[in-house]
Structures are given as C-alpha cells and as structure tokens.
Amino acid sequence: MDAVSNKDKARHFSLLVLPGDGIGPDIVGETLRIVDWFGDYLGIQFDIEHGLVGGASIEQCGEPISDAVVEKALQADAILFGAVGGPQWDDLPRAIRPEMGILRLRQDLDLYANLRPAICFPEIVGASSLRPELVDSVDILIVRESTSGVYFGEPRGIETRADGVRRAIDTQTSTETEIARVCRSAFEIARRRSHKVCSVDKANVMETGVLWRTVANEIGLEYPDVSLSHMYADNCAMQLLREPKQFDVIVTDNLFGDILSDEAAALCGSLGLLPSATLEMQDPTRPQRALYEPIHGSAPDIKNMDAANPLASILSFGMCLNYSLNSSAASELLNQAVRHTLAQGLRTADIATDGEEVVSGAAMTNAIIAGLDEISADEQRTALS
Ligand code: NAD
C-alpha cells in the first residue's frame, strides 16, 4: 500500500481571504504568514482562496462584492477579511459603496454575533490614554448584535415635508429571535470565561430596549450558572472609562455595540491592536462559520508603506483558531507570541511612544514567528522532559 503523506492525512480547513483596500492587503498578507505557521504546527491543510471586496471589487466588477464571492464565502469554513474603503469611493451612492460588501456578507451569511475583545496587554499599557492602573490587564469581550437594529431597519431615508422642512428617518427594530440568539451566544461565551454577562440597552426610553431586557432575562434563566446584570448604554459608556475592569462579557445591540466597542478599543491604546470575529447561527451538523477582521479601517494614509500594524488582523486569526478551529491552546500560543514580541520592545508607529524605535509591519510579523518557534520549542522540550 502507498505511504500516505502527512499532507494527505492533514485535516482540511477552507479559508476565503478578502483583503479589500488600503492597508487591507498589507495586514492580511502578514497574517497569511502566521496562518502558514499554524498549518504546520497543527497539521492542518488551509485551503486558501482569494476574492475581491470593497473598492477593489468596485473597480473590477462594478459592485462592492460579487455574487461569485458571496457564493465562495458560503462554501468556506471561515473568512479572513482586511478592510474596505478609501476617498476615491466616498461619493458613490450608498448602495454601491465599499462597506456594502461587508454588510452584504453579514446578511447573506447571517453573521449575527460580532465579538470584539478589548484586551489591554500589560506590555503596552502606556499606549492607553487612561492611567495604567485602570487599564492594566483589562479583558472585556463585547458581543454586538450585527444583523438587525437601526442600521438595517425600514423605513429609512430623508424626505422633504409639505412645509419644506427636511426630515430624516431611521428605524430601530429587533425581533425577539434576533435578541435571543445573540444573548445565547454571550451566555455560552461567558461560560468559557468568568460566568458574568452585562446586558446593555436603553430600556428607560426605547421600546426596543424594553424587549431587549425582557428577552435577556428570559435567556438568562437557561444559564443559572452565569450572573446577568443590566446597564443603560449611557452609563456603560461612562463606566468603561471609570472602572473598565468591572466588565467581562457585555452583550448589546448593533448601534450601542458599535460605539461601546470603539470606546473599549481606545482603552487598549490603538485600533491597530483590536481583532474581531462575527459568528453565524450554530448548526449542529457542521462547524460554526465565521468572519474574522480587524476593527480598524483601510487607513489609506499609510497604505503600501509596510507601516500598518498587523496585530489586529493576526489576533483576528487567533480568534479563528479559538472559535472556528476550536483550539484555545493554539490561540493562547499566538497571544503569548504577540506579548513576547511587545515585551521585546517592537513597536509599529501607531503604538510607539516618544523615543521608541519604530518597526515595519513585516518586522513585527517576523518577530511573532520567531516567538512562536521559540515558545513551541520550549513546550516540546517541557513535554519530553
Ligand atoms: P481607519 O481605522 O482606517 O484609520 C484611523 C487612523 O488609525 C488612521 O490614522 C490610520 O492610519 C490608523 N490606523 C488604522 N489601522 C491601523 C493599523 N493597523 N496600523 C497603524 N495605524 C492604523 O479609519 P478612518 O480613517 O476613519 O477610515 C478610513 C477608511 O476605512 C474609510 O474609507 C472608512 O470608511 C473605512 N473603514 C472601513 C472599515 C472596515 O472595513 N471594516 C472600518 C472602519 C472604516
């Protein structure tokens, strides 16, 4: 019988790579070097396909994402997304702007639970605008509902009333099903963390808030081992600055989640550090599909300069290791290598403080790969001894 090579025996995992615009291709390119490393380490064959999204897709196909790319996304196990947008597409009508590419992916794949960790690495605590003792070791996970709410509600638009006054309308809407599934995701994740969920709404002034709180309480009954608290969104914005360490998992709607997760991001110093994952509804017959992307945009001011910090994108792949490949150990190994690199003093421009030497995005990735080699070799030595 023919010998079966390691590659043939490897588990396959299909990854659709959508670099997008601006620094998207730079940071995703660096991340693929890390994907390669973990392919060898875990014995996984990553089957990688590339596609166009955002401005890059508008230029080539006339639309921010094509049906063919959406179809590829539906077939993939996970999607690694860069960032979209740039000044040259700012004046296009809303329906064909670059960001419609990501909104369509979220809707067509029903990616409803957007997970945004805000982790403050002690090695760069000085990059935060808050005092070190307030943010050191902050580890918050914001679970944001991402397929409903005011960004999707109808009717919407700007009209001119009979008296000539212009009037803008957005509609905030969520069904109990949409609220329940994202709350369930938050409770499930809390079970893997500190068993604490804070649900954030505006139940004092909004009907959607009243339903949000009612449903969160109902789902909470299914998780008696997780403690559930409630907070109004405005208070949460204040508490994140006053005492961020009180939070572990926060679950909230699309609009509040968008704002609060950017605020939590600022606690950690730089947009260039913050990853995210967006998960689809769990289907027991196959692994949960998800999209992984940094929370920052396409940073056109630094594109093609090898200046972008690749960490947010690399840590997004770390979330893929955890949530799609179910390997919290591999994700933790990557976190350790990132911390090791930061502890050695490597800084891209966005996280360098006065007088610190600035390195390129590629140099940062080189150091992470060297850290992965070193830490995994140490682990092997310990296991063998
Ligand atoms: P941005 O996040 O692109 O940039 C804000 C600032 O942070 C810039 O100074 C930029 O240089 C810096 N920055 C961002 N990421 C960095 C990184 N990895 N390393 C180093 N510095 C980094 O936000 P913006 O300037 O408001 O938007 C630029 C474009 O990105 C716009 O077209 C916007 O619509 C788009 N955008 C896209 C997404 C997305 O694709 N998910 C998200 C936000 C903004």
CA distance 295 to 264: 12
The CB of 324 under 6 Å from ligand 1? The reply is no
Q: Which atom of ligand 1 is nearest to the CA of 311?
A: 18
* pLDDT tops 70 at residue 333: yes
Average pLDDT, the chain: 92
Catalytic residue among 170, 262, 303, 306: 262
pLDDT (average), residues 83-101: 94
258 assigned to active site: yes
Residue 155 has what pLDDT?
96
Q: Which atom of ligand 1 is nearest to the CA of 90?
A: 32
Mutate to test the pocket of ligand 1, among 53, 271, 358 (most ligand atoms within 8 A of CB): 271
Q: Ligand 1 centre and the CA of 296: distance in Å?
A: 5
pLDDT (average), residues 106-124: 90
CA distance 133 to 87: 39
Predicted TM-score (pTM) of the model is 0.89
* pLDDT tops 50 at residue 104: yes
Higher pLDDT, 183 or 9: 183
Task: Grade residue 265 by pLDDT with cuts at 50, 70 and 90.
Answer: confident
The CB of 298 under 6 Å from ligand 1? The reply is yes
The CB of 271 under 6 Å from ligand 1? The reply is yes
Residue 354 has what pLDDT?
78
Higher pLDDT, 70 or 103: 70
SS (H, E, C) the chain: CCCCCHHHHCEEEEEEEEEECCCHHHHHHHHHHHHHHHHHHHCEEEEEEECCCCHHHHHHHCCCCCHHHHHHHHHCCEEEEEECCCHHHCCCCHHHCCCHHHHHHHHHCCEEEEEEEEECCHHHHHHCCCCHHHHCCCEEEEEEECCCHHHCEEEEEEEECCCCCEEEEEECCCCHHHHHHHHHHHHHHHHCCCCEEEEEECCCCCHHHHHHHHHHHHHHCCCCCCEEEEEEHHHHHHHHHHCHHHCCEEEECHHHHHHHHHHHHHHCCCHHHCEEEEEECCCCCCCCCEEEEECCCCCHHHCCCCCCCCHHHHHHHHHHHHHCCCCHHHHHHHHHHHHHHHHCCCCCHHHCCCCCCCCCHHHHHHHHHHHHHHHHHHHHHHHHC
* pLDDT tops 50 at residue 4: no
Q: Ligand 1 centre and the CA of 43: distance in Å?
A: 34
Q: Ligand 1 centre and the CA of 305: distance in Å?
A: 15
Task: Grade residue 7 by pLDDT with cuts at 50, 70 and 90.
Answer: very low
Q: In what order do the strands lie in the sheet with 44-50?
A: 44-50, 11-20, 78-83, 290-294, 275-280, 111-119, 139-145, 249-252, 196-201, 227-232
Share of the chain above pLDDT 70, in %: 96
Task: Grade residue 127 by pLDDT with cuts at 50, 70 and 90.
Answer: confident
Cβ-contact 86, 23 below 8 angstroms? no
Q: Report residue 32 as tokens.
A: 């693929």
The closest of 149, 174, 185 to 290, measured between CA atoms, is: 185
Residue 9 has what pLDDT?
55
Weakest mean pLDDT among 116-130, 287-301, 314-328:
116-130
CA distances from 184 to 72, 242, 254, 284, 285 (A): 28, 28, 16, 15, 19
Catalytic residue among 234, 301, 373, 378: 234
Residue 1 has what pLDDT?
40
Catalytic residue among 151, 170, 245, 306: 151
Condensed to tens digits (0 to 9), the pLDDT of residues 37-76 reads 999 999 999 999 999 999 999 999 999 999 999 999 999 9
303 assigned to active site: no
CA distances from 13 to 48, 137, 176 (A): 8, 33, 34
CA distance 297 to 156: 25
Condensed to tens digits (0 to 9), the pLDDT of residues 133-174 reads 999 889 999 999 998 999 889 999 999 999 999 999 999 999
Mutate to test the pocket of ligand 1, among 96, 298, 315 (most ligand atoms within 8 A of CB): 298
323 assigned to active site: no
Residue 128 has what pLDDT?
82
Catalytic residue among 201, 202, 253, 323: 202
Condensed to tens digits (0 to 9), the pLDDT of residues 266-317 reads 888 777 888 999 998 777 677 678 999 998 999 999 999 999 999 999 999 9
In the block, tokens 């979220």 appear at: 106
Q: By alpha-carbon position, which residue is closest to atom 26 of ligand 1?
A: 297
Condensed to tens digits (0 to 9), the pLDDT of residues 189-233 reads 999 899 999 999 999 999 999 999 999 999 999 999 999 999 999
Q: Report residue 123 as tokens.
A: 């090695």
pLDDT (average), residues 372-378: 92
pLDDT (average), residues 338-345: 94
What are 158's strand-pairing partners? Answer: 168
